[in-house]
Amino acid sequence: MIKKIGIMTGGGDCPGLNAVIHAVVRSAVNSYGWQVLGFRDGYRGLVLNDYVELNSDSVIGLLDRGGTVLGTSNKDNAFDFRVELPDGGVEYRDLSAQVISNLRADGVDALIIIGGDGTMTAAELFHKLGVTVIGVPKTIDNDLCGTDVTFGFNTAVDTATGALDKLHSTAESHHRLMVLEVMGRYAGWIALASGLAGGADIILIPELPYDIGKVQAAIARRRAAGRHFSIIVVAEGAAPLGGEMVTKRIIAGSPDPVRLGGVGAVVAQQLEQLTGMEARTTVLGHLQRGGRPIPYDRLLATRFGAAAAQALKDGISGCMVALRGSDIVTVPLAEIAGKQRLIGKDEELVEIGRRLGVCFGD
């Protein structure tokens, strides 16, 4: 019998996290009479037992608010936790046992963990250690297995599409090449969706290594047809055939220490040399992660939050709530942990793009 649950947001933030918290707390308190503890800053809060009590009043106004009121971290891992030593040194320790004893001491019967692949992988490990846990899939990258869509993705696509709309008019006026670099890590979902929605001429994604000569040829074809500008969307993980992704920095201790970034400038410089046209680069960066969730994401986050609480009520554990078609389902964390959902060879949006004349550089 559940009396008290914990909730936590881990990994990079994304629009809709607060809407999940809102839905979980409202269902837990109103429908099931549970107490809710909100652990701060992802797994860090569970290790340090840093939490705040949440009730219906604490979630007023959260539905449309960006970020997460609980705070988050994409570098703290309870199984490999950074500990600062008295002599100034640093050590990484498995502090999962401390998390479990904190939960016992707090009287927390079950956890709802909201996060991306790194957070879900750790959630699965806690499930194996006997913790009752339900995962909720978030990430702007849309690269989580088991669900058709993650909340946050469509808000990021909305932001990137809005940027493309604005870049079009200035590109056309100045007869320039405009390169927009978008996030997505090793997946090209944001680039693909915003590129198609924003009418990009060229879309470069990690799943399809590009040949810069083919991009140059696509621009030449457009010029021959009287179009003296081109819009190029580049996913941060895009790489040339036989080449490497561009790394911006390495974050020590993070479950995924690589931070990508910079490929947009590389592509722009190469195209300027190859085509003789002026090129400019816009890096959208964290603008894609911040701000209010669009209604689609508020609704998906609300459905996920309510379903996560319901799953606990139904005695389910070790699963993640997911969207399959138009239904919310639960999938075992074991099936999705450690995996990424990349754009497949037969992806419909790529096929449609090709039919419309979009160049993927391959």
Q: Which positions are annotated as active-site residues?
A: 141
Closest CA to 143 of 120, 122, 159: 120
Residue of 22, 26, 127, 185 interacting with ligand F6P (CB under 6 A): 185
Nearest-CB residue for ligand F6P? 183
Least Å from the CB of residue 3 to ligand F6P: 34
Least Å from the CB of residue 156 to ligand F6P: 8
Interactions with ligand F6P, residue window 93-122 (CB under 6 A): 116
Residues 160, 162, 167: CA angle, nearest 5 degrees: 90
- Please list, in sequence order, all residues whose beta carbon lies within 8 angstroms of the beta carbon of residue 256, skipping any fewer than 6 positions away: 74, 118, 185
Nearer to ligand F6P, 176 or 341 (CB): 341
Interactions with ligand F6P, residue window 207-236 (CB under 6 A): 236
Residue of 69, 113, 183, 301 interacting with ligand F6P (CB under 6 A): 183
Least Å from the CB of residue 189 to ligand F6P: 10
Q: Which stretch binds ligand F6P (CB under 6 A): 87-95, 178-186, 223-231, 271-279?
A: 178-186
Nearer to ligand F6P, 239 or 271 (CB): 239
Interactions with ligand F6P, residue window 6-25 (CB under 6 A): 12
Residue of 289, 298, 303, 341 interacting with ligand F6P (CB under 6 A): 289
| Residue 191 CA, distance from chain mean position | 13
Nearer to ligand F6P, 249 or 355 (CB): 249
What strands lie across the sheet with 4-9, from one edge to the other?
A: 51-54, 35-39, 4-9, 110-115, 133-137, 319-324, 327-332
- Please list, in sequence order, all residues whose beta carbon lies within 8 angstroms of the beta carbon of residue 102, skipping any fewer than 6 positions away: 46, 47, 49
Least Å from the CB of residue 313 to ligand F6P: 30
H-helix or E-strand containing 321?
A: strand 319-324
Least Å from the CB of residue 182 to ligand F6P: 8
Draw the binding track, 244-263, toward ligand F6P (x: CB under 6 A; -: no contact): ---------------xx---
Q: Is 83 exposed, middle or buried (0-12, 13-18, 19+ CB in 10 A)?
A: exposed
Question: Are residues 234 and 267 in contact, defined by beta-carbon separation less than 8 angstroms?
Answer: yes
Nearer to ligand F6P, 131 or 190 (CB): 190
Closest CA to 282 of 297, 267, 294: 267
Nearer to ligand F6P, 145 or 312 (CB): 145
Q: Which residues of 313-344 are buried (b: 16+ CB within 10 A; e: fewer)?
A: eeebbbbbbbbeeeebebbebeebbeeebbbe
What are the backbone angles phi and psi of residue 96, rounded to the nearest 5°? Answer: -65, -35
Catalog residues that contact ligand F6P under the rule CB under 6 A. Answer: 12, 74, 116, 139-141, 183-185, 236, 259-260, 289
